[in-house]
Amino acid sequence: MTIRMSDDDQIEWRVAEGLVPYPDAVAFMEQRVAAIRAGSAPETIWLLEHPPLYTAGTSALPADLGPAPAFPVFETGRGGQFTYHGPGQRIAYAMLDLRRRGQDIRAYIRSLESWIIAVLAEFGVAGARRDGRVGIWVDRGAHALGGRREDKIAAIGVRVRHWVTFHGLAINVTCDLGHFAGIVPCGISDPRLGVTSLAALGRAATLAQVDSALRRHFATHLAQLPAAP
């Protein structure tokens, strides 16, 4: 585990080596969120990979999970539906104190989206929000069924306890997109909507390069959120 403290924002950045089991990650987040609330630990961004697994958010529907999942399934308290995590996907678990950032959950999620979009732009990918759909999407052009083909490249799932955030985001870098076939990702079954990654888009990015971009853009998008009205 590599741990670095940012001089300008006093965020502890943790970079895990190897694949982190999901229960271990949740246990750490639970402990760290309590410590941040108590003022005994710094805010933390944890960058990691999981072994292949599916997670079920609070809105997950049983019908969106295949009858014989190839990977373990974990129920989680984050928002959203089913998603996949695995090697080659950069997960950023953000444990931040919204008491210092305006106490506005919607503004926080918008800032996570802006953060991802700025990171993707460094690799020549135009990520975008879509009304009614969580995460960040890439326009892939006209679809044979009409309309546009759009692929999801990054997922967002957030939980907040006593104004301290945990869980966070996942950017598909080089992950095996075939592993998404075991679920209906985020409950979206429209055949014009799929998943993609930086590698599938022809961008030769490493996790380390994505990590560097995440750090560069953090202060601009998340150091201070708009105050709640």
**Catalytic annotation on 186?**
yes
Parallel/antiparallel/unpaired status of strands 53-56 and 73-75: parallel
User: What 8-state DSSP symbol labels residue 51?
Assistant: -
Helix pair angle (207-222, 105-121), 10° resolution: 140
Residue 94: closest CA among 148, 165, 37: 165
The answer to whether residues 49 and 207 touch, using CB atoms and an 8 Å cutoff, is: yes
Q: Which of 98, 186, 198, 207 is catalytic?
A: 186
Where on the phi/psi map is residue 42: left (φ > 0), alpha (ψ -120 to 50), or beta?
beta
Please tell me the distance from the alpha carbon of residue 39 to that of residue 36, in angstroms, as a whole number: 5
Give me the residues paired with residue 75 across strands: 56
What kind and span of H or E run contains 218?
Answer: helix 207-222
Cite the active site residues: 186
